Amino acid sequence: MNLILTIVMMHATVLTGYSGAVLILGGYILSRTRTVQIYGKVYDVINIVGSVFLVLYAVTLHSIPFAILNGIWTITATVGLLSGVRSRGTSDSDAS
């Protein structure tokens, strides 16, 4: 039973890492192909989710530098999302 749990956890860890990497790289590719705007909500959400997955992956592997990098990435994307929401909200209220 312990072996099965170890295998499941190992696969979950790897899946989390791959998912985070795909999201971060996917967001970058979408921005470079101008499919999403780099200052848009979609881009920020993709970066937040991807970087949170990579933080979880890094912590599981005890990789502090990688966790710090992706933690900062998460904070930066979250600030971007929140400031974008605030500025859009302000401009919407100013227009009426």
pLDDT of residue 12: 93
pLDDT of residue 7: 83
Using a pLDDT cut of 70, give the percent of the chain over it: 90
Report mean pLDDT in 10-residue bins for the chain, 96 residues: 83 95 97 94 97 97 97 97 75 38
In 3D space, the residue among 67, 63, 23, 16 whose CA is nearest the CA of residue 45 turns out to be: 23
**Cα–Cα distance, 27 to 90 (Å, whole number):** 27
